[in-house]
Chains A and B, each alone.
Chain A
Amino acid sequence: MATTRRFGVFAFGKQASLGTPLASPTYAVPKLSGAMRPVKERGDLPRLGTVLSRLGMYTQRARGEGTVSIMGHPDEIGLLFYEAMGAQAISGSGPYTHTFTMADDQPFSNPLTVWSKVGDSWWRFRDTFISRLAVMGSTGENVTLEMDLVSFHYNPSAAPTLPGGGVADEEPRFKYIGSTTQLEANSAVPVTMTNIENVSLEIDRTAELRYGAQVNPSTYSPDRLVSFSAGMVYDSTQQGWDFLEQFFTGTTGGAGTGPDQGIARGSFDVLFGKHPSSFAGSLRIQSNGANWEYETERPDAEASPSLLELELNGPMVYPDSGSTEVTVVLINDVNAVY
């Protein structure tokens, strides 16, 4: 008898229609952590029959859910951005430029089929929606994606036939090394900063599964919340100090005269690094104007010899003159829309 380790694979593909699972995944990547799992919800309902106030445990819905982290694999992550954001465009003749933008509607009619492996146990999750997708980079580390998923249907599965390349576990990959980070307070035009330690973009749909004949499961209305955060270290060139001044005084350059009642807005444009650097692809996240309603606070002095750091975070607002809060540009070898 052999013991089973906590191996994990996350395999997925886009369904042609709601309710019809794929026969096999289009993409397969190693998991960094997490898993999809079946969930059976039970409800305590009073059962006022022959026994006074006896509670009955009744099964309510059964569904799938999970939080999964993966690395930034150039070809595979495009489908995840599309499923979370809802709109995509492709151009170019190789490498191909995929541009993802926010839409009110996720691909409700074209959800994911997900196969999740833990140890040697495969389960398949049909009609899977991305409830939240975050892409994160921290200095010196790999770019990672974390997603919350919900599914209408699950079943134990035989091992699926993996795509031609098997589990994608080789370079190129995106990293937060050699990245170009541009941010600016009170401006739609971000400028290059070299002291950004980490960035995180989060797309939160708060997807909920709806049931019943009255509500078509393909038309529930999720949220459209996009937020961005960044952490920077103070340096002698005062990069980023304007974020602090703009937030509290409404002006920059030391010209603030008092508290400001306005909303501080900023912009960002992050082009992640990659390895190998010869890889023709890239991953870029950018705001479409001064849509980032960040907030921050003045850091404290501390006795410990740590660096002085400033944290910025806040939601992206729906722009007045545009139609997307954030744009994700992914250049890779995938020659068709996802």
Chain B
Amino acid sequence: MAESYDLPPGDYVGNDGEGEVAFSVPAGGTIQTDDPRVQAVIQSTFLGNPEPGEPEVHDETGAVVGEEPAPEPEPETQPEGEEG
């Protein structure tokens, strides 16, 4: 029976006892599948994960560009600060 799942768009690879299971989630973020192996892998592996594949861009300090600053005063780094 076809099931529908909402996941971040991208290519996914999971594993069940039979081997690798690959599938893609289209741009809309919804995948509909009647493949029981894909259903099993989505349910056991990917559902509930925090935004897999969420594209993030970090600045030089590692902070996420374009995000609201965290409530903590200073996002930050090891005191050394130097690049290796």
Contacts and interface: CB of A to CB of B under 8 A. Distances in A.
A327 B54 contact: no
Nearest to B42: A323
Contact of A277 (B18, B57, B60, B75): B60
Nearest to A107: B15
B35 interface: no
A256 to B, nearest CB: 23
Nearest to A221: B17
B19 interface: yes
Nearest to B77: A178
Interface string B49-76: 1101111111011110000001110111
Interface residues of A, number: 58
Contacts of A336: 11
Interface in A131-158: 139-140, 142
Q: Is the interface of B mostly helix, strand, loop or mixed?
A: loop
Contacts of A324: 45, 48-49
Nearest to A178: B77
Interface in A254-276: 271, 273, 275-276
Contacts of B49: 99, 101, 288, 322-324, 327
B8 A177 contact: no
B52 A99 contact: yes
Most chain B CB neighbours (cut-off 10 Å) among A110, A176, A278, A323: A323
A106 B15 contact: yes
Contacts, number: 165
Most chain B CB neighbours (cut-off 10 Å) among A91, A102, A104, A338: A91
A225 interface: no
Given A273-B78, A282-B62, A178 B83 contact: yes
A116 interface: no
A295 to B, nearest CB: 25
A337 interface: yes
Contacts of A321: 48
Interface in B5-32: 8-20, 22
Contacts of B17: 105, 108, 219
A178 B81 contact: yes
Interface in A89-128: 89-92, 97-99, 101-110
Contacts of A177: 78, 80-84
B44 interface: yes
Given A89-B12, A194-B78, A179 B45 contact: no
Contact of A139 (B45, B53, B78): B78
A86 interface: yes
A268 to B, nearest CB: 13
Nearest to B57: A280
A180 B63 contact: yes
Interface of A: 82, 86-92, 97-99, 101-110, 139-140, 142, 175-181, 191-192, 194, 196, 218-219, 271, 273, 275-278, 280, 282, 286, 288, 319, 321-324, 327, 329, 331, 336-338
